[in-house]
Amino acid sequence: MPVTALLFDAEGQDSSIDLNRGLPQVQPHQLLWVDVQAEGDGALPRLLERLPLDEPTRAWLLDTSDTPALHRLDHAVQLRVSALEKAEHHYRTVPVRFVAGQNIVFTAHEGRVSFLEAFRALLEADTQLGQLDAAAFLAVVLTHHVEGYYRQLSPIEDNVDRLDEHILAESRQGRRHLAILVGLRRRVSELRRLLSTHRLVYLALASPDFAVYRDDEPEERLARLFQHFERTQEAIGHTRETVLGSFDLLMSSTGQRTNEVMRVLTVVTVTLGIVAAVAGLMGMNFQADVFKAGNSGFRDVLIGSLALIAAVIGVGRWAGWL
């Protein structure tokens, strides 16, 4: 639905609200969440026109900037984060704008947002979210935002594990492995960059004096949120090191393959040198009887050369050169 409104009631049943009748009067034990999802250009202004919003709230929800930001007003907090959505070859971001006031939170975005859908999926049963103030509710929702970044690491790590196996088993496919590594490295770097743009926002949320309304007490939840954010950053850094470790493995495999090729070339050079040496000796311009052996002599020289070549190859295999 384009506009959904959920009223969380700590002393009663959570329920959906019909906004055609306007915004309800929210009691201290209640929390109202209004989510506006626009589809297509020009849809968001039309949807917001249906809501009784003050001008600062409307202006912020219509803001087209995509940089994460946090603004404190006298009566509310304005927040913007970048939701992570996976595309075919890269990540795309969807700006999600929040306005949190006393026991009411507005969100607005263009298109579907995975972390909000994941949060909404947990609300099928009756909750105690009505006990939360707006700032604590932000902490709960934004936890899913951070987890959206963390969940992207698992498929990357699975791909790295499979790639390591292929590198060890298919050393001849170095170029293909390198192309896959470049793609994985790009994804991790993109994740790291996109999440890092939120650091100042989450740091401000975790500050001891942060509150949406003067009676809010969200410190513990917001502190845990920032810790979760930092752990996710560390996990992305660890995944980056894992990708770099695969690159080292690929370079070692390539070096090993090069050494094997060089050993083969060395043995080939030695065997050809033996043939050339024998041919040179037999072509010396002396009137020795050995040079008058005719066809039988040619056969003996050829057999001897082949025997020497076989001996060199046998020694090479015994020594582990081949």
Averaging pLDDT over each range in 128-142, 217-231, 299-313, which range is the top one? 217-231
pLDDT at residue 148 greater than cutoff 90: yes
Under the banding of pLDDT at 50, 70 and 90, the label for residue 292 is: low
Distance CA 318, CA 262 (A): 17
pLDDT at residue 316 greater than cutoff 60: yes
pLDDT at residue 306 greater than cutoff 60: yes
CA-based end-to-end distance of the chain: 68
What is the predicted pLDDT for the residue at 231? 95
Unique residue bearing structure tokens 């050169």: 321
Distance CA 110, CA 86 (A): 15
Under the banding of pLDDT at 50, 70 and 90, the label for residue 253 is: confident
Distance CA 268, CA 283 (A): 22
pLDDT at residue 297 greater than cutoff 70: no
Look up the pTM and report it. 0.77
What is the predicted pLDDT for the residue at 248? 85
pLDDT at residue 126 greater than cutoff 80: no
Burial (CB < 10 A; 0-12, 13-18, 19+), residue 142, is buried
Unique residue bearing structure tokens 């070096």: 255
List of domains in the chain:
1-130 (3.30.460.20), 258-318 (no CATH)
Burial (CB < 10 A; 0-12, 13-18, 19+), residue 322, is middle
Distance CA 228, CA 230 (A): 5
**For 178-201, how does the pLDDT look when each residue is reduced to its tens digit (9 = 90+)?**
888 888 899 999 999 999 999 999
**For 49-69, how does the pLDDT look when each residue is reduced to its tens digit (9 = 90+)?**
888 888 999 999 999 898 999
